[in-house]
Each structure stands twice: as C-alpha cells, then as structure tokens.
A and B are shown apart, each in its own frame.
Chain A
C-alpha cells in the first residue's frame, strides 16, 4: 500500500516536473518570439536566437540576484535563452561536469566565472564547437600557467575581471584615507599570493604610499603597518587581534565582509575601522560609515552589467560577425568598479545601483544598449566601444 503511495508521489512529482520542464522553455521560447519583432521595430535589427550557459561559482546572494535580474531584463530583446549552472572555485572535475551538462542541454556559448580546469574545459568545448568566455574572473591560474593554451585558444574569447586586475589604485585610495584618518597601527590581510597576486601587489603599493608619508611625517605621526596576514581561504582567526592589540585600522584586501568581519564581531573588535573589498551588500552595507556599528569604511565591487563583455563576444562569434577592431588574441580586460569610500557613495549605490537593488530598471545598460554593443546587430559597434561601455559603470556614473 505504502509503496503505491510512494509510486503515486513519484508520478505526481514527475507530472509536476513535466509541467515545469515543458512550460519553462515554452515560455522562454515565446518571449523571444514576441520580442523578436520589438527590437526589429525599434532599431530595425533582426536578432538570432541563441542559448547561452551561465556557469557561476555562487548560486545565491545579492550579486547573483543582480546578475540574474540583468540577464532576465535583456534575454527577451536580445533573443537569448540563459541556462544556469554552478561551478566550484576549488575542483576542476566539478566544473567540467557542469560545462558538459550545459553543452548537452544545447548551449552554444558558455560564460564562466571560475578558473579551475579551464584547459580541460576548453578541450571539451572545442570538440563540441562551443565558445567560452569569462566574467567576474581574472583567470589568473590560466593566465600565468597556461596562457597560450587558454588565451590563445580559438574557443576562448576573453574575460572581464572582477573590476581591475590591478587594484593598486584602491590601495592608494585606502592609504590616503588611513593617513587622513590619523590611524597609527594598520593591519593588512590578503589571500595567498599564488591565487591573488594582485592582492600582494596592492599590499606593496599600500606600504609604499605609507612609507612615503612616514618619510616626511613627524615621529609621533608615523604609521606602522603590520606584516601581511595571509588567509588560506579560511576566516581570519581571533588571535590576530590579540597579536596586534594596538591595531586601530584594518585593510583587508581579501574579501572582508565574509572572511574578516565575522571574526571582528565575535572578538568585539568592530570599533576597528575596516577597509575592504568584495562588497556583499548585507552587513557591509548596514554598517558602513556612519550607519550601524560603522565598522566598514570603504569597500569595492564590480557591477553585474559587466557580463555584457563576454556575452557580446559570444553572440558575435555565434553569428559569425566580428568587430573590425577585435584583437587577435583573447584579452583579459578590466571593468569599472563601484568604489565606495564615503557615506555619499554608499547612499548613491543603495539608491541607484542595480548591484544593490537587483532591479533591471537601475541597470547602467538598457536591453537596446546591449543589442547596440553587438557587432552582429549594429554594424557600427566596435570592440573599443564594448570595453568603453563596461568602464563607465562606476559610482560617478550612477544616475
């Protein structure tokens, strides 16, 4: 009897699954069909339907919501169907499996945000004729160890970093803030250099800037910077604050909201100002500057709209069109960052950045903007124009 019940449960589930499964693609098939005429009417462009996989290393959180909202906003007009999968930042085989599943599901192009197992993935994609491009990822591992194999691969179209590959500018800005704030004992936290060489480099720039200040400052005003605390991808330990009891400011180049802030809360050290990167729009937004406990003093993130860079490259490749000025070898490009250094910046981000609201209406780019960035839909579009577009998404550019 109970077995029958279970059987019925399965059948019911199957039926509902069938309903979901068939209705979802149907809906998305309808949508482009209807919208197909819309852009054609507006801009006289005939879009071609494509299925593109989005393989992202996280599957929840504010940044993911914002990215999905953006993709949802452009999928109709651009006539693209997006399929999502989750990657790992640690495991190559997981990523290969995810990409294989996307290829099987009919994706013609795939955008990835993790660089583990990329050579094997490209081999797979090349044999299946599927193009790959990166977003939110500087592909450091591949860039330094398999550059020709990855960036020279005809199926790899390039990647846009999570902001700038070189974040020295931020280190300089934070150093200026530290000097201005009159802090005397500063801690620096980074991820291991092999994984994030840019963080070690930024730490160096930060120190140079402070050293330059110390050279001219009076003895009483000199700033002491403690040696780098390297996090092995595990949260900062409470003992760090006991080791440096005098610390009065903390510069965590490694994602501060997730890795450093929890320890500060647990140790009752939220009175130490935290300058960090990797804005998560949760605790770090609520406790920024003069709000909440005021622990966060500066933060940094890139915007979800930057995904148009790999997206346009893939669409053009699939349509067989290229920009006249497209570089021969795949590039790793920077995009704008939301560098939030003050209450005003934060207020602006909260009010009108899509990263925070996850509302497509707040996007830097409209669907039509995106269409116009593609060479296949806009003969006048250039690669320089595409790169330019993703570099006008800073706090100053917010409406």
Chain B
C-alpha cells in the first residue's frame, strides 16, 4: 500500500522533478560552458535583476493559467503602468502616490478583464486581445502625445534595484501566492475551474467571483512587476513590456505549468520557469554561442523540456 502510494505520488510529481531537473541541467551545463562566468558575483546579481520582474508577473499569471485561461495583454498592461508610474510620480513627486494609482488601475482592469471574459463567454485569449489592443493603443498614444521615445523618472528608484530588495520581493510575492494558492478558496477554485469548470460551477461555486478575484491578483502582480521594471532603467518607453506575454507563457511552460490549467498547476512553475528562461538566455551569451544559433537552441531546449514535463501517457490526444 505504502509502496503504491509512493509510486503514484512519484508519478504525479514527475513533471515537477523534470522541470527542476531542467533548471538544474541548465545551471550545470552553462556553469561548464561559460567557464564559471555564470557564477560570478556580477552575473548572479544580473540574474536576480532579470528574473525578478518575470517571476513576479509569472506568479500572478499562474492564477490565470490555472483556470485554463490565457492572457496576452500582459505586456501592454506592463507598458502602460510603467509609463503612468513615471508620469504620476514625476507630476506629484510622490512614488507612493504613483504606485497606488497604478495599483488601483491594475485592480480595476483586473475586475474588468475577469468580468468581461466571463460575461462575453469568449475564450480568454480573445478578450485579452481586446485589452492588448486598447492598452497597446494607450501606450502608443501616451508616447505620441509626449513626443518622445523614452521618459525617465526624476527620482531614482535605486532602492528597488538592489539585489536583496529584489530577492525579498520575489520571496514575499511567492509567499503570498503560495498562501493564496494552497490555503485559500481562491487557489483551490481556480484549479477547479481549470480542471472542470462546469463541475465547479454546478457544485455551487460562484465561478464568476473567483475568476474576477484571480484577475485582480494578477493585476496586483502586474503593478508590482511594473514598479520593479521601471526601477531597472528608471525609464519607460513605447516598447516597454513588449513581448512579455509570450516570455511569461514560455517561462511557465519551462516550469512545467500545464497551459490547460487544472490540478497540476503550481506556483513553483513560475519560479522554476522564469529562472530557467533567464539562465538560458544569459548562459547562451556567456557561452559565446552565436546569436542566430541561440534561437534554435532555445527552441530545442523548450521542446525537450515540454516533451519531458507535459507528455500525456495514454487515452485521447491532449487538447
């Protein structure tokens, strides 16, 4: 009995093990190839800095992807929030006011995002395309109006650029996410919605409410991510956030997150995935691989990881 239990738990966790193994393998391979440069104090700082924003965004995104939903408006949202953060902070002189404003907007957008996708009964990717168009447009419009390619903040956000602060941010958001995910209704229900929305709904759960809440938490993560992103360069422009939606999606997959959501979703996917993603990009350059080969290597690594973590054993083809 005990043995079968152990076996089955091994089976359920094999995906986790493989995605951790993927990260470990990346670390080992690049430690060798980069001749130890991966571990230089400077590079470690760089890795934390580069991972921080991705990790925060990805942890928020886990709640969305757990429901089997998808979001491609992430990048445009990040872009607009970064711009607004800078504009409001510059105008008022108060970073707190700036951050609270974008937090409020992000939560509001989370409400709308969740509510709209529920009410319209459309695939979430489609509603996120609308949002992407609207936010992308707003970002362009702000820059067109300002008549510049890049704006910078008057006060320097050096505090948020320090490695301990960034690490702390990752840890705090991770703790909150894990708490919400493991110990509150929210986590259980988003997984439930992802696994079988109808069943969850029929069992008396107001799915709309929880979907909206998931989007709200996602919004909070986007706002925090935007703060740390702005701190990195102290500036933002019309391309800020571009490509983040896809980066996050790929990171989550590398971390072993099933895009269809459900019970196998986990916060660790966000952390493992983003670290793998960043180390992959960083390590390939450190190893002196030519830029054109980097793309194909990333693609092969991605295929290998998903073949190990996402493969479905039997039955009909997975959707």
Contact = CB atoms under 8 A, between A and B. Distances in A.
Indicate if A touches B (C-beta under 8 A). yes
A21 B292 CA distance: 14
Nearest to A8: B304
B50 A21 contact: no
Interface in B129-181: 140, 144, 147-150, 152
Interface stretch (A12-20, A202-210, A295-303): A12-20
A93 B42 contact: no
Contacts of B300: 9, 13
B40 A116 contact: no
A7 B22 CA distance: 10
Given A21-B33, A83-B288, A120 B234 contact: yes
A34 interface: no
Interface residues of B, number: 52
Contacts of A25: 288
B140 A101 contact: no
Which of B34, B144, B235 lies at the interface centre, i.e. has the most chain A CB atoms within 10 A of its CB? B235
B113 interface: no
Interface residues of A, number: 52
B200 to A, nearest CB: 31
B149 A14 contact: no
A100 B46 contact: yes
B235 A104 contact: no
Contacts of A14: 25, 29
Tell me what chain A mostly uses at the interface: helix, strand, loop, or mixed: helix
A232 interface: yes
A93 B286 CA distance: 19
B21 to A, nearest CB: 9
Interface in A184-200: 192-195
B319 interface: no
A102 B238 contact: no
B35 to A, nearest CB: 8
A201 to B, nearest CB: 16
A375 B216 CA distance: 60
B126 interface: no
For A3, A17, A85, A117, the residue with the greatest tally of chain B CB atoms inside 10 Å of its CB is A17
A88 B79 CA distance: 15
B232 A93 contact: yes
Contacts of A17: 29, 33, 287, 289, 297
B157 to A, nearest CB: 10
A24 B290 contact: yes
8 contacts: A18-B33, A24-B288, A100-B46, A104-B40, A119-B152, A120-B233, A121-B233, A195-B149
Interface of A: 2-3, 5-7, 9-10, 13-14, 17-18, 20-22, 24-25, 59, 83-86, 88-97, 100-106, 116-117, 119-121, 128, 141, 145-146, 192-195, 232
Given A85-B291, A91-B237, A104-B46, 13 more contacts: A3-B311, A5-B307, A17-B297, A21-B287, A90-B237, A96-B232, A104-B43, A104-B286, A105-B34, A117-B233, A119-B233, A195-B149, A232-B144
Rank and list the top 6 A-B pairs by shortest CB-CB distance, nearest first: A90-B239, A91-B239, A120-B233, A92-B233, A6-B307, A21-B33
